[in-house]
Amino acid sequence: MEDLTRYYALLKDPARRKIIEILGAQEKVGFKELREALGLGIGTVYYHLDMLSDFLEQDKQRKYRLNERGRTLYRVLKEGSIPASLGISETLGSRAAKWLFLSPLFALTAKPMRLLPISTMILILGAYGASIAKLEPALFFYFEYSNRNPSSIAVLFVFNWIGLFLFAEALANILFRRFGNDLQLFTCIGLAALPLAAFPYIYIAVPTFLELLNLYSWELVKNLRQIIPIILQIWSILLVSAAICYGKGLRLDKGIIISLTATYLNIAVLFMLGKFT
């Protein structure tokens, strides 16, 4: 067996096990039939198919079937050589990674209308927080002491994330030929804005919190206000990567390509505007 541990990791997810079982039993299946059998959203099905891409192939009618490695994977599953605990065992590290990427939350966006109100509320609260803290948003960055009026700051925050949604949609189409499923992607992008939407409130609360601990000093306030956004920026980029994975049905490595491209463009534009002088 070429890589048993990788097979186990792939088959840990019940949806991927079911895909292998369906294709192993029926030989080839169209996307629509596969989606109906799984009962999952378009983006989620594409995500699992992408994760299994080394084990699948498509014929001229674009129907999916197992390749030679996939048939080996099916035999492993059928022969019952997968450990019984595989479906339920989970290390502390894997659980932490799931919540770091908010995977349980993103998984619910298969029916995007469930979480669209929450996603929208995150953007509204982020916009309001930025306006009262007078922090000028620039997607993954904030700039203190903005001269813009509060309404302009709020609108700018929302437009930044809508712009990211449109950019991710376009790049997923161009690079990976993933079309549609726009509402799920928008919902996921809104959820990914959570860390940076929370930052303005943290920014305002830092001096009060330090005073309660009898640790207040302007230097410490300044340092915390510089360190905290860096942590939240990194988390947001990871969440955007996960959002693209779930929204467009891509593997994490492909989602990271899009999120890092957005980050680099964000930095380049800010340099050209003289924000990092």
Same domain, 78 and 172: no
Residues with Cβ < 8 Å from 215, sequence gap 6 or more? none
Q: What is the pLDDT of residue 5?
A: 57
Look at residue 78 and tell me if it is in a domain.
Answer: yes
Same domain, 64 and 111: no
Provide the number of structural domains found in the chain.
2
Same domain, 112 and 75: no
Look at residue 227 and tell me if it is in a domain.
Answer: yes
We report the CATH number of the domain holding residue 48 as 1.10.10.10
Higher pLDDT, 193 or 93: 193
Its domain, for residue 154, covers: 97-272
Average pLDDT, the chain: 88
Let me know: does 85 contact 78? Beta carbons within 8 Å.
no
Look at residue 36 and tell me if it is in a domain.
Answer: yes
Look at residue 195 and tell me if it is in a domain.
Answer: yes
Same domain, 148 and 53: no
Q: What is the pLDDT of residue 59?
A: 87
Q: What is the pLDDT of residue 277?
A: 67
Q: What is the pLDDT of residue 4?
A: 55
Same domain, 41 and 112: no
Let me know: does 210 contact 216? Beta carbons within 8 Å.
yes
Same domain, 263 and 178: yes
- Average pLDDT of the residues in 47-72: 87
Q: Using the 3D structure, point to which of 29, 58, 89 is the last residue of a domain.
A: 89
Quickly state the pLDDT bin for 98 (edges 50, 70, 90). Answer: confident
Look at residue 30 and tell me if it is in a domain.
Answer: yes
Same domain, 84 and 206: no
Residues 252, 73, 82, CA angle at the centre, nearest 5°? 95
Q: What is the pLDDT of residue 82?
A: 54
Look at residue 236 and tell me if it is in a domain.
Answer: yes
Same domain, 150 and 265: yes
DSSP string, 12-32: TSHHHHHHHHHHHHHSEE-HH
Question: What does each C-alpha distance from 220 to 144, 146, 239 come to in angstroms?
Answer: 16, 22, 28
Higher pLDDT, 80 or 91: 80
Q: Using the 3D structure, point to which of 89, 110, 133 is the last residue of a domain.
A: 89
Condensed to tens digits (0 to 9), the pLDDT of residues 22-43 reads 999 887 899 889 988 988 878 7
DSSP string, the chain: ---HHHHHHHHTSHHHHHHHHHHHHHSEE-HHHHHHHHT--HHHHHHHHHHTGGGEEE-TT--EEE-HHHHHHHHHHHTT-S-GGGGT---HHHHHHHHHTTHHHHHGGGSGGGTHHHHHHHHHHHHHHHHHHT-EEETTEEESS--S-HHHHHHHHHHHHHHHHHHHHHHHHHHH-----HHHHHHHHHHHTHHHHHHHHHHHHHHHHHHHTT---HHHHHHHHHHHHHHHHHHHHHHHHHHHHHHHT--HHHHHHHHHHHHHHHHHHHHHTTTT-
Same domain, 78 and 171: no
Same domain, 81 and 119: no
Look at residue 277 and tell me if it is in a domain.
Answer: no
Burial class (CB in 10 A: 0-12, 13-18, 19+), 101: buried
Higher pLDDT, 95 or 250: 250
Residues with Cβ < 8 Å from 122, sequence gap 6 or more? 190, 191, 193, 194, 197
Higher pLDDT, 168 or 108: 168
Same domain, 263 and 129: yes
Same domain, 50 and 109: no
Mean pLDDT lowest among 3-12, 53-62, 218-227, 258-267: 3-12
Q: Using the 3D structure, point to which of 61, 89, 117 is the last residue of a domain.
A: 89
